[in-house]
Amino acid sequence: MKILVLCTGNSSRSQMAEGYLRKYADASVEVYSAGIEAHGLNPNAVASMARDGVDISGQQSTLVDEYLDLAFNLILTVCDNAQENCPVLPGKPGMLTVRMHHSFPDPAKAQGSPQEIEAAFDTVRDQIKAFCQELIHKPNW
């Protein structure tokens, strides 16, 4: 099974979701993330995930165009912009591709002190974690 997580810039939310889905899924699941744009891996996202024991520092910020040749069982958009602008990705004959959308706030837009920004990332991280746990353990797609 292949899962693609899409976001606008593939820097925070989709990267966090990729990290958690990899953590919770078994070895038969391949997880990818991409963006409509590629903004680079956000260091605050890396730090927030590390605080929860998940290392995403080796993940890459990629454009969705890099995956046009792959067929996915699930395409998960984690922001409204990605849902609205997601390209049509090809499937394989006889394979059902499910599209799912769950919008999370963009922690990269957080303002304030370093502690407030850290808290914003951790809040969104925890929302993504809970969603990913449910998605893997109680799939409804």
Query: Which one of the listed residues 25, 29, 86, 110 is annotated catalytic?
Result: 86
The encoded tokens of residue 1 equal 């099974």
pLDDT at 133 over 70: yes
Of the listed 4, 5, 6, 7, which one is catalytic? Answer: 7
Residue 7 has pLDDT above 70, yes or no: yes
Among 9, 19, 82, 76, which residue's Cα sits nearest to residue 40? 9
Give me the pLDDT at residue 93, please. Answer: 60
Catalytic annotation present for 7: yes
Whether the predicted model's global pTM rises above the 0.85 cut: yes
pLDDT digits (tens, 9 = 90+) for 59-112: 999 998 898 888 888 999 998 887 777 666 656 665 667 889 999 999 999 999
132 annotated active-site: no
Full set of structural domains in the chain with CATH: 2-137 (3.40.50.2300)
Give the chain's radius of gyration (CA, Å).
Answer: 14
Mean pLDDT within 24-39: 93
Percent of the chain with pLDDT over 90: 69
